[in-house]
Structure 1
Amino acid sequence: MVLGLFSIFCSVSRKSHCASWMLLISFLLDMAVGTMTRHLNICCKLGTDLNDFAVFTTFGLASALLLGVDGPLNGFLAIIYVLTTSFRLCFCSAAGGPFSYKGLPCPYASCVLASTSLLTKGNTFILCCMASLMILFMIDQSNYPHDEILESENWKKMVYMGGVIMLFFSPFSLTAFYCLIWSLSYIFFPDVLWGKAACLKL
């Protein structure tokens, strides 16, 4: 939530580069925090509510602000993106059952937007196209695997660790490209690549 608020502040200050990095770090932290809460057995209703609010703030509002609000089209699309995130959190989060989501999870959509913003240096047209595509995926009723990467197969843990290592030690453009490919592989090949462990649990 704190990183999401920082991202919002950066977007308002017209520092989209910093705002995008806040979102990518949030994407990686979101997975780690979920794993930590389960291992420490500190899950509670208050934590769930705070998590939803953090997801909305970071992966909804902060991500939408990457589109900018300079023109009517950008502003309208940003509003639609925020509403889509709200809709998905309210109605689709648990609709797929314990092993899958209905609709694309918001963190992956946010990661795509943040990576695209970094790789295109904030190109508004491309960002609007990607945001429109992410909106369609989030409201889609297709199933996406609810497979916790840090509690799954070793190769998935390596994918996560690769993202963390690249964040600190590789060129920024390469890290953004890595996160983009990671997210797109989840979006377009959810069952083939990312659903195996969830199916085994089922």
Structure 2
Amino acid sequence: MKSKQANLIYILPNLFTAASIFSGVFSIISAVNGEFDKAAWLIMLSLILDGIDGRVARLTNTCSKFGVEFDSLADMVAFGVAPSLLMYLFIGHEFGRFGVVASALFVIFGAIRLARFNVMTVSSEPSVFIGVPIPIAAVFVSLLVLLFDKYGLHDNYGIVIMFLSMLVSVLMVSNIRYPSFKTVDLSPKHAMKSFVFILSALLFVFMYPIEGFALLAVIYILYGVVRTIVLMPKTFIKK
């Protein structure tokens, strides 16, 4: 009986990973059918499922090499292929070969980002990410589609999506450091600040879901860039 329970606990995080893949494939099918908003929200759902599977694995102490590899393959589908195809079908096809290159670049650099993460991460959880994590990049592209579709900007400013997607693709393989939030300081000294920030963010997202998520994604991406620029003079001084 205990053995069966142990096996069930072992497959639990992998079920969430499989659900993330399903959501990614459903997003691809929705994009092919021209349901771009639905496809974008399904990528957001994959982000939630991707976050759950890792936490379930750590809570149940069922982390395994198989789980790590399975998760990477899931990320490639949900956060590599799905947003790339969404971007291409939404606006990229209007730019010919440039649209193909921009879409392919996102998948290729996303694969490099995942491979580098797997090589650099052995057994300990990273306190920072090197380069923009591929789930954040995927959500960023999805939110661009949602924003441009909501305000009808893709007719005149579709090229902006292409350039921003290429920019975030490059940031994925950059050496810019981003917080992982896995070692958040929740001591009494910082608990109130964290509570106020999280509550404010949730209320803003509740009122303006698309704009709220987009703002959070932009702040996260810009944080790493600005932090690097600010610290750059100090790095040169030390050398």
TM tier, shorter chain?
A: 0.7 to 0.9
Say yes or no: does 1:11 pair with 2:31: yes
Say yes or no: does 1:130 pair with 2:164: yes
For 1:88, the equivalent position in structure 2 comes to 113
* Deviates most, 23-32 or 53-62: 23-32
Partner SS, residue 57 of structure 2: helix
CA distance in 1, matches of 2:30, 2:203: 22
For 1:199, the equivalent position in structure 2 comes to none
Percent of residue pairs bearing the same amino acid type: 21
Give the one of 188, 191, 198 matched to 2:222. 188
For the pair shown, the structure with the greater C-alpha radius of gyration is 2
What are structure 2's unaligned runs of at least 5 residues? 1-20, 228-239
Partner SS, residue 120 of structure 2: coil
What are structure 1's unaligned runs of at least 5 residues? 194-202
Deviation at residue 19 of structure 1 after TM alignment? 0.7
For 2:126, the equivalent position in structure 1 comes to 98
CA distance in 2, matches of 1:156, 1:109: 26
Q: CA RMSD in A?
A: 3.0
For 1:23, the equivalent position in structure 2 comes to 43
Deviation at residue 165 of structure 1 after TM alignment? 10
Change over 3 Å in CA distance of 1:87–1:43 after alignment to 2: same
Change over 3 Å in CA distance of 1:8–1:152 after alignment to 2: farther
Amino acid at match of 1:133: L
Relative contact order: is structure 1 or structure 2 higher (C-alpha 8 Å, sep ≥ 6)? 1
Deviation at residue 164 of structure 1 after TM alignment? 11
Deviation at residue 183 of structure 1 after TM alignment? 1.5
Q: Which has the higher helix share?
A: 2
Partner SS, residue 107 of structure 2: helix
Amino acid at match of 1:26: S
Partner SS, residue 129 of structure 2: strand
Contact 2:204 2:212 in 1 (8 A): no
Pairs aligned (count): 187
Contact 1:68 1:75 in 2 (8 A): yes
With normalisation by structure 1, the TM-score equals: 0.79
Say yes or no: does 1:55 pair with 2:80: no
Contact 2:24 2:78 in 1 (8 A): yes
Change over 3 Å in CA distance of 1:158–1:38 after alignment to 2: farther
With normalisation by structure 2, the TM-score equals: 0.68
